[in-house]
Structure 1
Amino acid sequence: AGIHPDKCLPVCIDVGTDNPTLLKDPFYMGLYQKRDRSQVYDDLIDEFMEAITDRYGQNTLIQFEDFGNHNAFRFLRKYREKYCTFNDDIQGTASVALAGLLAAQRATGKPLAEQKVLFLGAGEAALGIANLIVMAMMEGGVSAEEAYRRIWMFDKFGLLVQGREQKVDSNQEPFTHQAPEQIPKTFEEAVNILRPSAIIGVAGAGRLFSQDVIKAMASINERPIIFALSNPTVKAECTAEEA
């Protein structure tokens, strides 16, 4: 990014953990308390943002990394107009993924506006990518409604559909659609039922782009788009060789 490491200051904000194993571990280096989810947490983040800019200036770039889904989006909305801030999981991953999809247009011969994208995972990375895809489709002349309709998400509970038993948060709602006639129970079934032109893995759950999933994508598309973005490599949905 052109930023020298000596200009960076890594900061870890610790407000406790809900992991009982860590709370019992005498070598755990964090706070021995349950995670604070009260207003005290928000006040701490406010104080941190003010302290950083007081010390280093208003133009200091403050990058958020690995914040939970709920906090990541609300902090981005809260601070983006007041501070020079950036969420890597939402915005960084999204920009790289969209660049890949735009480049894939050359290989597939199909414009972005005609792609149907199925995500494995529905957290902040998936939502960040999906929202940027929607923006890019709209720039290409597609309505917002049609752009959202071209994006589906499959999480640990299954396909994001209206009326499902598991709760869908407000950030996921635009990508929660009317259920298809046959509701898929597995990601492979979702591929065969929805027939996407692109699948994007951001679940961090390992090799879920199985050989059967890859074969299904190849049977549906002459040039399928397969992005296995989870990291590290052991958590990637597949390797390039497997695809």
Structure 2
Amino acid sequence: MNKHTSEILNNPFLNKGTAFTEAERKQLGLVGTLPSKVQTLEEQCNQTYAQFKRKSTKLEQRIFLMNIFNENRTLFFSLMDKHLVEFMPIVYDPVVAESIEQYNEIFSNPQNAAFISIDRPDDITETLENAADGRDIRLIVVTDAEGILGIGDWGVNGVDIAVGKLMVYTAAAGVNPSQVLPVSIDAGTNNQKLLDDPLYLGNRHQRVYGDKYYQVIDKFVQSTQQLFPDALLHWEDLGRSNAQVILDKYKNDIATFNDDIQGTGMVVLAGILGALNISHAKLNDQKILIFGAGTAGMGIANQIMDELVQAGLTPDEAKTHFYAVDKQGLLFDDTDDLTPAQTAFTHKRAEFTNADELTNLASIVETVHPTIMIGTSTQPGAFTESIVKTIAAHTERPIIFPLSNPTKLAEAKAEDLIRWTDGKALVATGIPVDDVEYKGVKYQIGQGNNALMYPGLGFGLIAATAKILNAQTLSAACHALGGIVDTSKPGAAVLPPVSKITEFSQKIAEVVAQSVVDQHLNKEPIRDVKQVIADMKWYPEY
């Protein structure tokens, strides 16, 4: 087998395996290196899916699919296209968490990722060049894996998050898989279990913070701009202390977003807009309680705040609509250890006659009567029957989103929320939930899954060659997603189902690209947004 032959069969972007035709085998020097039968992509998919179904656990299914991904991207995405709803939780959340926790034990392939070490800043440009290997990179998902939702700090193992996220971009929106780059920034880890594990593959020291960390981030951003000037930079699962700081530093200069801050906020805002389409209420009239004031919770607050400002309120007026609650209770301006993101949403003690009592959710709900309650606390069962009934007593259609996942961390179950409010609650959850039957009505429960938003958003920004992503474009995307709700049907979901993700990712991409072009934020001249998106969309075909 000559070098050329092995290169093609080992290149997942070019390999077709048994689907190489006889003419291609002749031309590419593959004669005799494959079994005689030339399979169609359809036949390969059927054969591979049957193998997938024989795996006994979800993790084994994921490992099997990753092997297909590593060998043949077209086959992998053709298969995912046919079984999208079944594969999404396996290639990404929640099964990706298992693969991260066992990354050292099951590692077999770097999956074309770039591994940047904080201890070797001089290697950053070379690392990115080597990982890209001459490909035209348009989308980078980068993580330092300090704050992976639900499981915390997993060091270099968290690269699987970036790989999984990019798979969803391709499957949902049609981003070309040869134009994406997953990046791990290995800044060390504070996970003692990993530091003690002889198999751990990352830097074996505590996490580095401060100037040294920010210098590496800066060098990374500069290198990406130099090597891949048309690439969108997507930040994922950074820690509380760094996520907002990094986003704020670069968002006005380059096309970038942080999915935990903005993506989560956008999907939740879209869900709220969908719910308000059903209840015919106005966002300006809502009182919003955020339970769990971390990166996700404050990202949601910021997104709703931006929307209120877009609707004509001043920032000070908009701020009065929010109640941020964390482990200390309601956040006041004199609360200890506030994060920069939290300080924008505090209250003064003088606003309340019972300020000292506002240390738990029940007393806060009793005092402020929120109309919208969002859970990002990972406190299972925190939305109790009495709390939910208190909210429902003071608003016609309460909007209640227990978003913490996995299931065991959810603040409440959808079926309980429907029952406790006699069918009035408008509910979205963080995990997929079956329809709830109550008093003869089938309630569809929307899933506040970032995958509803980021694939279409990212694809639209790339297609439009966006210079930056601003509040106006974010708002346009939220309205596009929130507007897909069927308001005429009793029990309609506040968000569209993941099963229709390819359709509405296309719609969001078009709205986003149009917003970029309308604001003259595109680098390349664009006459027809729909045409540009159609031309750029990749299909899994040989």
Q: What TM-score do you get using the length of structure 1 for normalisation?
A: 0.90
Aligned match for 1:175, one of 338, 345, 365 = 345
Cα distance change on mapping 1:223 and 1:125 into 2, 3 Å? same
Aligned match for 2:249, one of 51, 54, 78 = 78
Provide the C-alpha distance between the structure 1 equivalents of 2:184 and 2:381, rounded to a whole number of angstroms.
30
- In the TM superposition, what is the alpha-carbon distance from 1:6 to its structure 2 partner? 4.2
Provide the C-alpha distance between the structure 2 equivalents of 1:134 and 1:85, rounded to a whole number of angstroms.
20
What letter matches 1:233 in structure 2? T
- In the TM superposition, what is the alpha-carbon distance from 1:33 to its structure 2 partner? 0.5
Matched, 1:27 2:196: no
Provide the C-alpha distance between the structure 2 equivalents of 1:129 and 1:191, rounded to a whole number of angstroms.
19
Q: Give the corresponding residue for 1:17.
A: 189
Provide the C-alpha distance between the structure 2 equivalents of 1:26 and 1:36, rounded to a whole number of angstroms.
21
8 Å contact from structure 1 (residues 59, 83) kept in 2:
no
Aligned match for 1:68, one of 214, 239, 242 = 239
Aligned match for 1:45, one of 180, 192, 217 = 217
8 Å contact from structure 1 (residues 192, 216) kept in 2:
yes
Cα distance change on mapping 1:6 and 1:217 into 2, 3 Å? farther
8 Å contact from structure 1 (residues 16, 30) kept in 2:
yes
- In the TM superposition, what is the alpha-carbon distance from 1:130 to its structure 2 partner? 1.2
Provide the C-alpha distance between the structure 1 equivalents of 2:181 and 2:391, rounded to a whole number of angstroms.
43
Larger radius of gyration between Structure 1 and Structure 2: 2
Cα distance change on mapping 1:28 and 1:210 into 2, 3 Å? farther
Matched, 1:216 2:390: yes
- In the TM superposition, what is the alpha-carbon distance from 1:21 to its structure 2 partner? 3.4
Matched, 1:143 2:314: yes
What letter matches 1:132 in structure 2? Q
Q: Give the corresponding residue for 1:36.
A: 208
Q: Give the corresponding residue for 1:90.
A: 261
- In the TM superposition, what is the alpha-carbon distance from 1:211 to its structure 2 partner? 2.4
- In the TM superposition, what is the alpha-carbon distance from 1:108 to its structure 2 partner? 3.0
What letter matches 2:290 in structure 1? F
Provide the C-alpha distance between the structure 2 equivalents of 1:190 and 1:75, rounded to a whole number of angstroms.
32
Provide the C-alpha distance between the structure 1 equivalents of 2:405 and 2:323, rounded to a whole number of angstroms.
21
What letter matches 2:347 in structure 1? H
Q: Give the corresponding residue for 2:296.
A: 125
- In the TM superposition, what is the alpha-carbon distance from 1:114 to its structure 2 partner? 0.6
Matched, 1:231 2:405: yes
Cα distance change on mapping 1:187 and 1:44 into 2, 3 Å? same
Structure 1, residues 141-185: CA drift from partner, whole Å, max 9, x if none?
A: 323212101101111121101323x22133222211013222322
Q: Give the corresponding residue for 1:100.
A: 271
Provide the C-alpha distance between the structure 1 equivalents of 2:208 and 2:327, rounded to a whole number of angstroms.
26
Provide the C-alpha distance between the structure 1 equivalents of 2:199 and 2:385, rounded to a whole number of angstroms.
41
- In the TM superposition, what is the alpha-carbon distance from 1:5 to its structure 2 partner? 4.0
- In the TM superposition, what is the alpha-carbon distance from 1:67 to its structure 2 partner? 0.8
- Where 1:63 maps in the other structure, the secondary structure is strand
Point out the more displaced range, 175-184 or 84-93. Answer: 175-184
Point out the more displaced range, 134-143 or 154-163. Answer: 134-143
Provide the C-alpha distance between the structure 1 equivalents of 2:176 and 2:383, rounded to a whole number of angstroms.
37
- In the TM superposition, what is the alpha-carbon distance from 1:138 to its structure 2 partner? 2.2
Provide the C-alpha distance between the structure 2 equivalents of 1:237 and 1:73, rounded to a whole number of angstroms.
25
Point out the more displaced range, 30-39 or 189-198. Answer: 30-39
Aligned match for 1:201, one of 375, 389, 395 = 375
- Where 1:162 maps in the other structure, the secondary structure is coil
Provide the C-alpha distance between the structure 2 equivalents of 1:140 and 1:47, rounded to a whole number of angstroms.
38
What letter matches 1:25 in structure 2? D
> What RMSD, in angstroms, separates the aligned Cα atoms of the two structures?
1.9
Point out the more displaced range, 106-115 or 193-202. Answer: 106-115
Aligned residues with identical type, % of pairs:
38
Provide the C-alpha distance between the structure 1 equivalents of 2:321 and 2:178, rounded to a whole number of angstroms.
43
- Where 1:152 maps in the other structure, the secondary structure is strand
Count matched residues: 241
What letter matches 1:202 in structure 2? T
Gapped regions of structure 1 (runs ≥ 5):
none
Matched, 1:158 2:329: yes
